């Protein structure tokens, strides 16, 4: 492959430079937020605009910036790409450490170039393939770290139902018998059910239990940007799966969601909501990532359309029958912010302006200049619906000149005291945000 790629590298590198110059975003992410975001005409590039800051991590004593009335502290460090957080009933916190399995073949020069550019960010590299347990020392602000589960395969989602712990690897869900107080899992674990695992272009498998514990909902991303790997590999992809806990059988609950990376229950209505990463390579201002309620048997457009009936001409063959029934997402959160975490806040410890709405961890993307994402935002809700613009809560993960990257937020959880916990997979730390 390399001998075919290398002669084209110089030409593609030039294309990257030219496209970046011509592909600057016109909208600030918040200007593309809400129920009806502006959607400019799509563009075509030999290489899409790419801007990737160099990953450097956090210096000693350095931390992100938080909104007024809040404070932030580091409670865990030296992790290996922390992704998901789960607060257990006894107050312990589980941290899922994982990264992509690196199984997707590189078949084009564009993929090779893009991979090299993206790797600069610090988002690449081997994940921990483990779960770490954090325990707060009573009466102190000190947390101890314990390796809890090892030997996983690109894990992401994690849930506890009764005394059974479920962890979603990229290719299956494994289950363990949970014993409160253990700092290392004593159960060897067993496979609960398999998950789509071919290619794993989008490798993350989000996991959410139903309120009654009878179902598990799984976010499964697409195997491509817009089906360039063929439709056959998209079977049970770009979907939210519903798994019956008793029978282990599964069905497609909703489809056409390119990469549903965060799932949670809206507290006032009990409805399922998701954040999703939309498609790339048609401009810095397309397509806005979104937050949406997930309707049973609903179809959300991918790959044939976006934001309802906006047709993606790159996809062949076209499917006007599916476009006609595509559901428009509830709320845009800006193009290429790359949301990877969703948490509806149900506590009381944070200031009142953060009650009842949704925190979103925006991991930041390679497909936009200037940068977007790289922050935790809060979306207020009223009567079960998002309202107003996203509010920046935690920022400063990228330098002001956009050349270096200290961290990138992913998943979140609420700890036993109602503080907000944030996993940071570039900084390899867990942050705790609380009221001053």
Burial of 212 (0-12, 13-18, 19+ CB in 10 A): exposed
**Percentages of the chain per state (helix, strand, coil), in multiples of 5:** 10, 35, 55
- How far is residue 5's CA from residue 382's CA, in Å, rounded to a whole number? 52
Domains in the chain and their CATH numbers?
2-435 (2.120.10.30)
| Model pLDDT, residue 48 | 73
Assess whether pLDDT exceeds 80 at residue 318.
Answer: yes
Determine contact, residues 260/219, Cβ cutoff 8 Å. Answer: yes
Assess whether pLDDT exceeds 80 at residue 177.
Answer: yes
For the segment 80-96, the average pLDDT, to the nearest whole number, is 98
For the segment 169-189, the average pLDDT, to the nearest whole number, is 98
Contacts for 316 with CB less than 8 Å, ≥ 6 apart: none
- Encode pLDDT of 343-386 as tens digits: 999 999 999 999 999 999 999 988 888 999 999 999 999 999 99
Provide φ and ψ at 352, rounded to 5°. Answer: -60, -30
- Reading the block at residue 356, the tokens are 């009842």
Determine contact, residues 200/223, Cβ cutoff 8 Å. Answer: yes
- Encode pLDDT of 52-76 as tens digits: 899 999 999 999 999 999 999 999 9
For the segment 130-155, the average pLDDT, to the nearest whole number, is 97
pTM of the entire predicted model:
0.94
Alpha helices by DSSP H, 292-434 = 320-324
Assess whether pLDDT exceeds 80 at residue 133.
Answer: yes
Determine contact, residues 376/413, Cβ cutoff 8 Å. Answer: no
DSSP letters for 132-179 = EEEEEPTTSS-EEEEEEE---SS---EEEETTEEEEE-SSEEEEEE--
- Reading the block at residue 300, the tokens are 């959300």
For the segment 76-99, the average pLDDT, to the nearest whole number, is 98
| Model pLDDT, residue 214 | 98
Residue 110 pLDDT grade (very low, low, confident, very high; cuts 50, 70, 90): low
Assess whether pLDDT exceeds 60 at residue 249.
Answer: yes
- How far is residue 394's CA from residue 428's CA, in Å, rounded to a whole number? 16
For the segment 169-180, the average pLDDT, to the nearest whole number, is 98
| Model pLDDT, residue 363 | 98
Average pLDDT of the residues of the chain: 93
Determine contact, residues 362/376, Cβ cutoff 8 Å. Answer: yes
Instruction: Give the CA dihedral 149, 151, 154, 160, nearest 10 degrees.
Output: -30
| Model pLDDT, residue 49 | 72
- Encode pLDDT of 291-304 as tens digits: 999 999 999 999 99
Grouping H, G, I as helix, E, B as strand and the rest as coil, residue 322 is: helix
For the segment 392-410, the average pLDDT, to the nearest whole number, is 97
DSSP, res 108:
S
The H-or-E segment that residue 116 falls in is: helix 109-119
- Encode pLDDT of 4-20 as tens digits: 444 444 444 444 444 44
């Amino acid at each position: 492959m390399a001998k075919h790629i290398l002669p084209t590298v110089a030409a593609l590198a030039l294309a990257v430079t030219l496209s970046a110059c011509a592909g600057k975003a016109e909208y600030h992410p918040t200007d593309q937020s809400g129920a009806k975001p502006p959607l400019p005409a799509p563009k075509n590039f030999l290489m899409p605009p790419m801007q990737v800051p160099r990953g450097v991590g956090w210096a000693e004593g350095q931390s992100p910036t938080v909104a007024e009335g809040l404070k932030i502290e580091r409670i865990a460090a030296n992790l290996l790409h922390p992704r998901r957080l789960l607060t257990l009933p006894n107050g312990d916190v589980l941290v899922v450490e994982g990264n992509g399995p690196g199984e997707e073949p590189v078949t084009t020069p564009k993929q090779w170039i893009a991979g090299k550019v993206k790797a600069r960010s610090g988002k690449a590299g081997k994940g921990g393939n483990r779960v770490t347990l954090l325990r707060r020392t009573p009466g102190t602000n000190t947390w101890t770290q314990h390796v809890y589960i090892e030997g996983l395969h690109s894990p992401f989602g994690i849930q506890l139902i009764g005394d059974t712990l479920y962890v979603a690897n990229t290719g299956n869900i494994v289950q363990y018998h949970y014993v409160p107080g253990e700092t290392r899992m004593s159960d060897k674990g067993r496979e609960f059910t398999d998950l789509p695992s071919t290619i794993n272009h989008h490798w993350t498998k989000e996991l959410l239990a139903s309120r009654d514990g009878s179902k598990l909902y799984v976010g499964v991303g697409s195997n491509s940007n817009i089906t360039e790997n063929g439709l056959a590999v998209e079977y049970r992809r770009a979907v939210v799966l519903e798994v019956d806990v008793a029978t282990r059988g599964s069905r497609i609950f909703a489809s056409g969601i390119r990469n549903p990376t965060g799932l949670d229950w809206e507290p006032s209505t009990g409805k399922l909501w998701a954040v999703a990463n939309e498609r790339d390579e048609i401009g810095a201002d397309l397509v806005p990532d979104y937050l949406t309620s997930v309707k049973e048997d609903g179809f959300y457009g991918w790959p044939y359309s976006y934001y309802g009936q906006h047709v993606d001409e790159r996809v062949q063959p076209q499917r006007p029958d599916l476009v006609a029934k595509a559901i428009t997402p509830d709320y845009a959160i800006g193009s290429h912010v790359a949301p990877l975490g969703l948490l509806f806040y149900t506590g009381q410890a944070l200031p009142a302006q953060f009650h009842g709405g949704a925190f979103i961890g925006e991991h930041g993307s390679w497909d936009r200049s200037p940068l977007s994402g790289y922050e935790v935002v809060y979306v207020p809700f009223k009567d079960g619906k998002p309202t107003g613009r996203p509010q920046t809560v935690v920022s400063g993960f990228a330098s002001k000149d956009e050349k270096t990257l200290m961290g990138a937020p992913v998943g979140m959880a609420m700890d036993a005291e109602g503080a907000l916990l944030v996993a940071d997979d570039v900084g390899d730390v867990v942050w705790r945000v609380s009221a001053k």
